[in-house]
Amino acid sequence: MLTTLYAVLFYIATLTLVGGLAAKLLRYARTPAPLKIPTTPAPTTQAGVVLRMAREIALFESLFKANRWIWVFGYVFHVALLLVLLRHLRYFTHPVWEWVSLLQPFGIYAGFAMIAGLMGLWARRIVVPRIRYISNPSDHLMLALLILIGASGLMMKFLAHTDIIAVKAFFLGLMRFELNPLPADPILLVHLTLVAALMIIFPFSKLLHGPAFLFSPGRNQVDNPREKRHIASWAAKLEAGPGKSA
Ligand code: HEM
């Protein structure tokens, strides 16, 4: 019963995450960017733009220049999250890839670092009056959700162990449309319920800022308006005259 319930929950969560993400990103990709608005100083070549985006993704460069405290907490959280997620690949692969095995010890420290980063970001929303004023309940809820996922994960690691072999068999089974029994440990069930909630909320929440960043015209445009006339596709059609296409 419990196994079936969580199997259905994770199928729904996966479909929502993948379908929701695809729909949102398709919408962003189709949204016209009629104006040339790269945030200056901006690269003047396409290769420069790729480099700028890479620095932004790997180092959060503009945040570093804008606000050092948010950068520290935000960067620690995101890098730690990446390590934690990579460590979790062991539940979904058999045999476990060599580099995932090598990462395992770092993944545990990353669990603590992830929570520390989130606490810092949350403290900022409470302590800085300006930020407190513009914080919505959903901002607080997202932080709470991520902290609770991390805390329940660490509790399993250090306080109340679960049968991780059985957890792995359950998830590998789901990937082949087979049901293997899920352990009924309360902390594991809390961890998994919160993870499923996160997967369902993700495409409709502000957490989408990660993939959505790629579509930001301020960052992905080349600063070449003098060399090359920028014209949106619909404007080109208008210029070509009624009934004609550009
Ligand atoms: C379906 C997806 C997931 C499964 C099956 C899962 C399962 C587990 C299990 C079994 C543990 C205990 C590890 C141990 O005892 O050695 C754990 C730990 C942990 N989980 Fe998850 N988890 C999932 C998703 C996530 C996500 C999305 C996050 C973060 C947002 C997360 C954060 C953590 C953390 C921080 C720990 C403690 C550190 C560690 O052992 O890596 N988990 N998880």
- Ligand 1 centroid, distance to 153 Cα (angstroms): 5
Contact 131, 166 (CB under 8 A): no
Is the CB of 150 within 6 Å of ligand 1?
Answer: yes
Is residue 88 pLDDT above 50, yes or no? Answer: yes
Q: Identify the pLDDT of residue 244.
A: 54
Average pLDDT, the chain: 93
Q: Quick check: CB of 230 below 6 Å from ligand 1?
A: no
**Residue 150 three-state SS:** helix
CA angle 16, 202, 65 (to 5 degrees): 150
**pTM higher than 0.85, yes or no?**
yes
* Model confidence pLDDT, tens digit, residues 173-228: 999 999 999 999 999 999 999 999 999 999 999 999 988 889 999 999 999 888 88
Tens digits of residue pLDDT in 29-40 = 988 888 889 988
pLDDT in tens, 103-138: 998 888 999 999 999 999 999 999 999 999 999 999
Nearest CA among 57, 111, 77 for reference residue 103: 111
Atom number of ligand 1 nearest to Cα 199? 27
Please report which helix (H) or strand (E) contains residue 161, including its range. Answer: none
In the numeric block, which tokens belong to residue 131? 């930020």
Closest atom, ligand 1, to C-alpha of 114:
35
What is the pLDDT, as a whole number, of residue 243?
59
Under a CB-based contact definition with an 8 Å cutoff, are residues 236 and 50 in contact? no
The pLDDT of 35-59, averaged and rounded, is 93
Confidence of residue 246 (pLDDT cuts 50, 70, 90): very low
CA 111 to ligand 1: nearest atom: 35
- Residue 235 confidence (pLDDT) above 70: yes
Verify whether ligand 1 is closer than 6 Å to residue 219 (CB atom).
no
**Residue of 169, 6, 161, 153 whose CA lies nearest to 84:** 153
pLDDT tens for 139-161 read 999 999 999 999 999 999 999 99
